[in-house]
Amino acid sequence: MKIALIAHDAKKPEMARIATAYQEILAHHELFATGHTGQVVTDATGLPVHRFNSGPLGGDQQVGALVSENQMDLIIFLRDPLTAQPHEPDVNALLRLADVYDVPIATNAGTAEVLLRGLARGLLAFRQIVHGDESRHE
Ligand SMILES: O=C(CO)COP(=O)(O)O
């Protein structure tokens, strides 16, 4: 499955911890990330990550583009709720698209752990059904 990893600056240490803790699960999947987050994940785990632009330079929108093509299966987006982001509209657009396409999305570490453990247990298999019905949003 395709997994997007995104973390605002204050949350990058947390993303590194999650990626390290769940490295064995993540290793079975195709990883995508916004620019700096991807570097953090690779540095922490050595896992290959497709890196998009940095978030403020369009990275969230690049992830969103894959979501809109039903090509993203899980998103972990550790948002910083205490700091205003210059690209807040892009952040909101990605959250909206995740809801449009029924893509599981975790916006904090607690939910991220639940989703990753669920992924390992095969609980996200419904995404394959979604892939088999690409026409539903046309
Ligand atoms: O700003 C971000 C998401 O909105 C994250 O971007 P970076 O991973 O490039 O820091």
Q: What is the crossing angle of helices 88-100 and 59-68, to 10°?
A: 20
pLDDT at 48: 98
Establish whether 60 is a catalytic residue. yes
- With a 6 Å cutoff on the Cβ, whether 39 touches ligand 1 is no
Nearest CA to ligand 1 atom 6: 55
Q: In the chain, what percentage of residues exceed pLDDT 90?
A: 89
Q: For domain 2-73+81-119, which CATH number applies: 3.40.50.1380, 2.60.40.10, 3.40.228.10, 3.40.50.720?
A: 3.40.50.1380
Q: How many CA atoms lie within 13 A of 117 on its CB side?
A: 7
d(CA 94, CA 39): 21
Please state the rounded mean pLDDT for residues 77-106: 97
Given ligand 1 and candidates 9, 37, 91, which is best to mutate, with the most ligand atoms within 8 Å of its CB?
37
Domain ranges of the chain: 2-73+81-119
For residue 61, report the phi and psi dihedrals to the nearest 5 degrees.
Answer: -70, -35
- 17-73 per-position pLDDT tens digit: 999 999 999 999 999 999 999 999 999 999 999 999 999 999 999 999 999 999 999
Q: Using CA atoms in the order 8, 14, 18, 20, what is the torsion angle rounded to 10 degrees? A: 110
